Structures are given as structure tokens and as C-alpha cells.
Amino acid sequence: MDATRYPSCSDLMQDLEGWHANYSTAEGQEEAPAEGKATEVVSRRKRRRTKGIKNEEEVETQRMVHIAVERNRRKQMNEYLAVLRSLMPLSYVQRGDQASTVGGAINYVKELEQLLQSLQVQKQLGQRADTDGFASPFADFFNTRQDSSCSFNGGTSRRSQNGVTNVDKDYSGNEVMVVKRSAMADIEVMIVESHANLKVLSRRHPKQLSKLLTWLQNLRLTPLHLNVTTANEMVLYSFSLKVEDDCSYASVTEIAAAVCEMIGRIQENIGLSFP
């Protein structure tokens, strides 16, 4: 009869302890990489959070700087507007807003310009006799006294040769001012962006101003302001013009030539035609 040997209790305990040791080792090896990955993810999140906080701080700093600059700009503008109001009569300041103040200042300066022109003409007429032609009382109102001439189509002039003097250009090479002189009139044109200043010195002629205004409007040169100064038989017109977008005259030379033609037609009693 064969005798079967069964494992004893001590053998079972040893097998159980060995299995438990192997299981613990394998479990530790599996958990180690997972813990390393978790640590790396947390580190990345911290770096991203730090970068985000830094960007938010920069944005806030820029915003505060912008607010401070804008506040200083408004403060300076309010100070300038207050100075303008103090320099003008109350009748020129209808309201307290910026547009009304600036508009009133422009009108006031135009009135002062007209008054100055009248006083200067009176002073020159009182100091000396007119020995330098008809332009003598107004000689200081133009930027050059060198002679050139302009002619007009369809009429006759005592000097028919075309010419332009003292053409000033800006940094881009664009003409910004020109002076034309002729036996009919002395003309100065200056352009700044879409605005033009026009001075016309000529002999007084019936309905000359009304015809000139009509002609300018038809050329899409809208009169915004006008000063008129007279001395004996001479008259000086100072126009502030708005050059409209559809105006066909793009340069000071073209405007000066067109005005010269207009004055010639008026004084020669030639019919006017508009483009």
C-alpha cells in the first residue's frame, strides 16, 4: 500500500510567503512608472500656471500705463481748452465742449487776421506814398515779391508769359505753396491736407467777389471763411477753402493758374465758363 505524502503546514506557510513577496515586488515595479508620470504632469501644470500669471501681470501693467497716459492727455487737453477760452471773448464760446471751443478759436483768429491786415494797410498808406505800383500797401502779405506773370485763356494781359515763383514743397515733394504775380492780380495759394488758403490782390471791380465765390464753388473749392481788406482802388481777398474730394485741381499751381484766369476774365469782362 502506497503512502501519499501531503504537504505539511510549514510547507504551505513558506509557499504563501514566497508568493506574497513576488506579488509585492511586481506591484511595486508597476506603480513606480505611474508615480513618475504623475509627478511630471504636476510639474508641467505648475510651469504653465506660472507663465499664465506672468502674462496676466504684463497685460495689467500695460493697461495701467495706457490709462495713465490717456489721463494725462485729457488733462493737458483740458488745460489747453481752458487757455483758449480765457483768450477769447465770451461771444465766441457758445458751449463748453471741445468742438465749440476750437471752432470759436478759429473764428476769433480769422477776425484778428482781418483786423491786422486792415491796420497794416492803414499804417503803410500813412507812412509812404504809393510809389511801387498797386501792390505796395499789401507787399508784406505775400511770401515773395519776385515778379512772374500769369495769363488767361481767351483774354489779354499786359504780360502774357506764364510763370510761377517761390514754389515750396513738403518732404514728399508735393507742392504746398505757390505765388503768382501779374498785371491783373497777385495770387498766393497754400494747401495743407484738404484745406487751402487763397490770397488774391487785385483792383476793385464791380461784382468781382460774388463772381469769384460762384466760380470757386463750381470748382469744388468750398469757401469756409473770407476776409476782405480794401485800400483805395485795391482789394485783398483772403479765402479759407475746403478742397472737396471731387475737385479737379490737385495742386497749388493748378489752383493759382485757374484763379488768375478767373480774375483776368472778370476784369476783361469776358464770359465765364465752368469745367
pLDDT at 69: 92
Contact by Cβ (8 Å): 221, 196:
yes
Asked if the model's pLDDT at residue 132 lies above 60, the reply is no
Residue 67: predicted pLDDT: 92
Band (pLDDT 50/70/90 cuts) for residue 150 is: very low
C-alpha–C-alpha distance, residues 86 and 198, integer Å: 30
Is there a domain that residue 188 lies in?
yes
Between CA 84 and CA 105 the distance in angstroms is 7
List C-alpha distances in Å: 230 to 111, 114, 135, 137, 243: 15, 11, 12, 10, 26
Look at residue 151 and tell me if it is in a domain: yes
Q: How many CA atoms lie within 13 A of 123 on its CB side?
A: 9
Name the residue range of residue 251's domain: 132-267
How much of the chain exceeds pLDDT 70, in percent? 57
Domain count, the chain: 1
pLDDT tens for each residue of 230-250: 877 888 898 989 888 888 887
Flag whether 41 is in a domain: no
Looking at residue 98, what is its pLDDT? Answer: 85
pTM attached to this predicted model: 0.54
Residue 167 located in a structural domain: yes
Q: What is the pLDDT of residues 85-102, one digit of tens each?
A: 888 888 888 777 888 888
Cell of 150: 500769369
Give CA separation, 187 vs 31, 152, 233, 246, 250, in Å. Answer: 96, 13, 17, 23, 17
Per the domain annotation, does 14 fall within a domain? no
More confident of the two residues 252 and 159:
252
Mean pLDDT of 180-192: 79
207-231 mean pLDDT: 88
Q: Is residue 187 part of a domain?
A: yes
Residue 158 included in any domain: yes
Inside any domain, residue 141: yes
Q: How far is CA 220 from CA 10, 213, 239, 252, in A?
A: 118, 11, 14, 14
